[in-house]
Structure 1
């Protein structure tokens, strides 16, 4: 009897072990790098009344993870500084965190896998004085001018920005604050500044500079941000599922609905919404 029941005994033990291993794994959430405290509408900001994270990127990726039943923990928000993105990159490469909601792919992230489908595609814009805007019709019109590029990183990884624009052979200097860039354009120290379009529109409106400075959009100035996950993460095998879900939401129009709702959300509750211009002092 003992000999016959032994296989059943070990089978039962194996089943229990698998159960506890799977349970332990399912209780270990995906650790996701924290947002910035500084408002970057419509992509993300912290509600000043509730302390909750709001905005397009958080809503979109949170809905993807919820549909896939992936438990996750978002780290606390930190200030947007020259080292904010470099810290996220270092945490990913060291596997201190599992993932980041949205990053521009770059060579320094060789330990990271990106979703093929972008979380969002941002559009950079050319900021100039109203008068100078008429002279910019194509990217080559910038080559004989002095420009600024808003970038929040430092060191060898100046986010993706300067490297991204080297192909256009532009005379660019990196600047960490858009407000200072506006001042340098108005006093003719620089001819133009490159900054994300949606954020620029809101900043110029809030600072009441939209009658002095103009926004020009060029087709070359688009950039895709992708979901990023460490190759060492226990969750690395879900990247294809995340990719498929992001693609589904784009194709069925859900992503666009979230974007439009996030833009409206930014303006709908002024009491609890931080001003975008506060992030560019």
Structure 2
């Protein structure tokens, strides 16, 4: 995806390449069916950080996963096709030698949905052991599954959130692990479920999904450090949470387009295919 700000002619645009995840995960980033543009808190944060750094920025995202994707993204940094790439912290093994921002770009909080009968106020390891886990097929949370497997827990995999919530209403010993914003959205869509269920944040950071910017090692990274410093300020000021909440509201309210005027975003979106990336094309 590409955000274009007013050009600063003294420097070439600062190019960022995002992996397929979490670029299709609202409210962080998704393709808005009305405007046909990628919108969300990730592009908004990057745009704001670049604007505060007086940088002209271009943001691309890869269209799909591929066995050679990480290697191709690393090569795009080495040959300076891109100045930075965005990837989940779970991939740090592959990105270990690369420079990483001190500040995460997004923190996708993992929460649980549990029956009110359990009277859970703060999630604990005891809950992890005692309750029967349900996980969404499209959001596997590898660190959590590794922990559950170590505890020899039988995991129920479901195709959609509504099915998981229904299972909990039928059996209060079950608990559903889900992104906090997804849980909130379902409760707004199905208020009858909220009468029986609670959403509880998991304070243990090890289950969160954090996304960072990475750059090539051994290079002069003045603009990379500028972006990092601005991201930190945006988190500390509360802007990061504010803009994510704003896009959550937009995601929840965007049910159809029906010819209504759509607010124009301040950026354009551009997709690069895996094949183009592997061939070094832009």
Specify the TM-score bucket, using the shorter chain as the normaliser. Answer: 0.5 to 0.7
Is 1:210 matched up with 2:194? yes
Structure-2 separation of matches of 1:72 and 1:108: 24
- Structure 1 unaligned blocks of 5 or more: 1-22, 274-281
- Per-residue CA shift, 1:174-210, capped at 9, x if unaligned? 8474435445545549721211112211134335533
**Aligned pairs, number:** 241
Give the one of 153, 168, 172 matched to 1:171: 153
Structure 2 portions without partners, runs of 5+: 1-8, 259-282
Task: Tell me if the contact between 1:139 and 1:220 (Cα under 8 Å) persists in the aligned partners.
Answer: no
Per chain length, whose mean CA-contact separation is higher, i.e. which structure has more relative contact order (CA < 8 Å, sep 6+)? Answer: 2
Partner of 1:226: 211
Task: State the 1:47 CA deviation.
Answer: 1.5
Q: What whole-Å deviation, never above 9, does each CA across 1:23-44 have from its counterpart, x for those lacking one?
A: 9x95475241255698633322
Instruction: Give the deviation of 1:246 after TM superposition.
Output: 0.7
Question: Separation in 2 of the partners of 1:90 and 1:149?
Answer: 30
Rounded to whole Å, the distance in 1 between the matches of 2:50 and 2:182 is: 26
| Bigger CA radius of gyration | 1
Alignment CA distance shift 1:31-1:251 (3 Å): closer
Equivalence for 2:32: 47
Q: So what's the TM-score if we normalise by structure 1?
A: 0.64
Q: Residues 117-166 of structure 1: CA distance to partner in whole angstroms, max 9, x if unpaired?
A: 12233321112234345597533232133313447578xxx655435x46
**2:279 aligned residue:** none
1:187/1:268 CA distance change after superposition, 3 Å:
closer
- Aligned pairs for 1:78-117 (under 5 A) are 89=70, 91-95=72-76, 99-101=84-86, 103-105=88-90, 106-117=92-103
TM-score (norm 2): 0.64
